Amino acid sequence: MKYLILSQFAGPMIRHGATVLGGYLVAEGIADADTAQQIVGGLTAAGGVGLSYLEKLLRA
């Protein structure tokens, strides 16, 4: 059940949260579109690594 929550809920929440953050940064003029894309990509990658590590810890 824990793995289902991680794969079906946490991953998409990280991606959508990063996308919302990128949109906010562009809307406020803090970052341009290219910078926001890099931020979103980095957060998504870091979230994926974090979830993978957490899943390995839960399986042990």
b vs e for 39-55, b when ≥16 Cβ sit within 10 Å of the residue's Cβ? Answer: bbeebbeebeeeeeeee
* 19 is a domain residue: no
Report helix angle 33-59 to 11-27, nearest 10. 160
* 22 is a domain residue: no
Q: Domain count of the chain? A: 1
Taking the C-alpha atoms of residue 45 and residue 40, their distance in angstroms, rounded to an integer, is 9
Residue 1, pLDDT > 80, answer: no
* Chain mean pLDDT for the chain: 89
Give me the mean pLDDT over the 17-22 stretch: 94
* 8 is a domain residue: no
Structural domain of 45: 32-60
Residue 35, pLDDT > 80, answer: yes
* 57 is a domain residue: yes
- Residue with the two structure tokens 């809920």: 9
Amino acid sitting at position 21: L
Give me the mean pLDDT over the 33-38 stretch: 95
* 27 is a domain residue: no
Structure-model confidence comparison of residues 1 and 47, the more confident one: 47
* 60 is a domain residue: yes
